[in-house]
Amino acid sequence: MVTVAQPLLPTPAAEVGRLRATAVRHLGPNWYASVMGTAIVATAGAGLPGDVPGLRTLCVAVWALSAVLLVILLGARALHWTHHRDQARAHLLDPAVAPFYGCLAMALLAVGGGALVVGRDWIGTRAAVTVDAVLFTAGTAVGLAAALAIPYLMVVRHRIRPDQATPVWLLPVVAPMVSAAVGPLLVPHLPPGQPQETLLLGCVALFGLSLLATFVMLPVIFARLVTAGPLPLALTPTLFLVLGPLGQSTTAVGKFADFAPGVVPAPYDQGFGMLAVLYGVPVLGFALLWLGLAGALVVRAHRQGMGFAMTWWAFTFPVGTCVTGAEGLARHTGLVAFDWLAVGLYALLVAAWCVAAVRTTRGLLSGELLAAPRQM
C-alpha cells in the first residue's frame, strides 16, 4: 500500500498571523490622525477654565485611550512595513498619501505631551517625564525627517498638477510646530542653565521652521481653491487642517511665555510674553475666519453627499489646537472672552471626536475602512 503524504496545513497561529498581515495591507499613515485627535481631547480639556467635576478624570481616561491606540497602530504599521513593503513604497510615492507621514510624528508628540499634562495623574510625574522625553525625542526626529523628505519627494518624484494642491500638504511641515508647542513642558525637568535654555530656544527654532514653511504652502493651497473650485467631497474635511499651524503656533508662543522667565535672560524673557499676545490674537482671529470658511464648504459638501472617510479626523486635532491656543491667550491676557472661546471650541471638538470615533469603529467592524481603495 502506498502512503500519500498529506500537505502540511498552516497552524492556527500562522493562519491568524497571515490574516492580520493581510488586514493591514491598506492601513496608511493617515490612521495616526485618530491618535492625534484623541490625545488633543484630553490635553485641551485639562486647560479649560473652571473646575468641572469629573472632567480631569475623564481627560486622563481619554489620554490613556490615545496611548493604547498609539501602541496598536505602531504595531499594525510595523506589520504593514514588514509584509507589504510594496504598498508602503507606493504610499511614499503617492502625492496624496505621502504627506500623512507627518501624522506619525504628531501622534507621538501628542501622546507624549499628554503624559505630562494629564497622564501624570495616573502613572506619576517621574514616569510621565520619561514617557514624554522618549516620545518627544522620537516625534521630533520623525517630524524633522518628514518635513525634509516629503517636500523632497514632492519635488523630485511626485508629479503634481497645480489643481492637486490640498491642505494635506501642510502635515509634514506642521509636525515641528507640534514639537515647539509640547517641548517646553519638559523644560522644568531639565537641569537649570544651558540645558533648559537650549531646549526652549530649540523649540523656538522649530516654531520658526514650521511657520515659514507654512507661509510657503498656504498661498498655493488658497490659490488652488480660488482658481480650481472646491475640493473633492472626500477631501473637503482636510480644509480644517489649515487650523493646525494657526492654533498650534498660538499655543507654542503661549508656552514660550509660560516657561521663559528664569530660563531665558532678561529682557528676552519678557519679550516672549508680548509675543504670546501680539502674535496669538491676530493669528487666532484668522483661524476663526478660516474655521467659518471651511465650515461653510463642509456644509456644502455634506449637502452634495459627502460620505464618511478617515479625513473626518481633520475635524479634531486642528480644532483642538485652537482650543489650547485660546486657553493660552486667556492666561496671558486675563480676558474672559478667550475662556468662553475655548469652551465653545472644545464643545465642537468633542462633538467632532464622537462622530469620527463612532464612524471609524463602525467602518472597522464592517471591514470597509481596511478594504482596498475603489478604482475610479
Tell me the per-residue pLDDT of 129-164, one tens digit each, with 9 for 90 and over.
999 999 999 999 999 999 999 999 999 988 888 888
Q: How many Cβ atoms are within 10 Å of 16's Cβ, its own excluded?
A: 11
Mean per-residue pLDDT of the chain = 92
pLDDT at 239: 97
Q: Assess contact for 323 and 349: CB atoms under 8 A.
A: yes
Complete DSSP assignment for 32-69: HHHHHHHHHHHHHHHT-SS--TTHHHHHHHHHHHHHHH
Q: How far apart (Å, rounded) are the C-alpha atoms in residues 14 and 44?
A: 43
pLDDT at 169: 95
pLDDT at 16: 42
Residue range 89-113: mean pLDDT, rounded: 94
Residue range 76-101: mean pLDDT, rounded: 90
* Predicted confidence (pLDDT) at residue 17 exceeds the cutoff of 70: no
Query: What does the pLDDT look like over 34-45, one tens digit per residue?
Result: 999 999 999 999
Query: What does the pLDDT look like over 173-226, one tens digit per residue?
Result: 999 999 999 999 999 999 999 999 999 999 999 999 999 999 999 999 999 999
Q: For residue 101, what is the DSSP state?
A: G
Q: Assess contact for 95 and 164: CB atoms under 8 A.
A: yes
pLDDT at 346: 98
Residue range 18-40: mean pLDDT, rounded: 84
- CA proximity to 285, closest of 334, 242, 336, 247: 247
Residue range 110-114: mean pLDDT, rounded: 97
Confidence of residue 10 (pLDDT cuts 50, 70, 90): low
Residue range 6-30: mean pLDDT, rounded: 61
Rounded (5°) CA angle 350-256-337: 45
Rounded (5°) CA angle 337-315-287: 40
Q: Assess contact for 32 and 108: CB atoms under 8 A.
A: no
pLDDT at 20: 54
Radius of gyration of the chain (CA): 22
* Predicted confidence (pLDDT) at residue 86 exceeds the cutoff of 80: yes
Phi, psi at 190, each rounded to 5°? -105, 160
Query: If DSSP states are collapsed to H, E and C, what string results for 111-156?
Result: HHHHHHHHHHHHHCHHHHHHHHHHHHHHHHHHHHHHHHHHHHHHHH
pLDDT at 374: 62
Region of 124 on the Ramachandran plot (φ > 0 left; ψ -120 to 50 alpha; else beta): left
* Predicted confidence (pLDDT) at residue 15 exceeds the cutoff of 80: no
Q: How far apart (Å, rounded) are the C-alpha atoms in residues 116 and 340?
A: 25
Share of the chain above pLDDT 90, in %: 81
pLDDT at 21: 63
Query: What does the pLDDT look like over 307-329, one tens digit per residue?
Result: 999 999 999 999 999 999 999 99
Region of 161 on the Ramachandran plot (φ > 0 left; ψ -120 to 50 alpha; else beta): beta
Residue range 82-105: mean pLDDT, rounded: 91
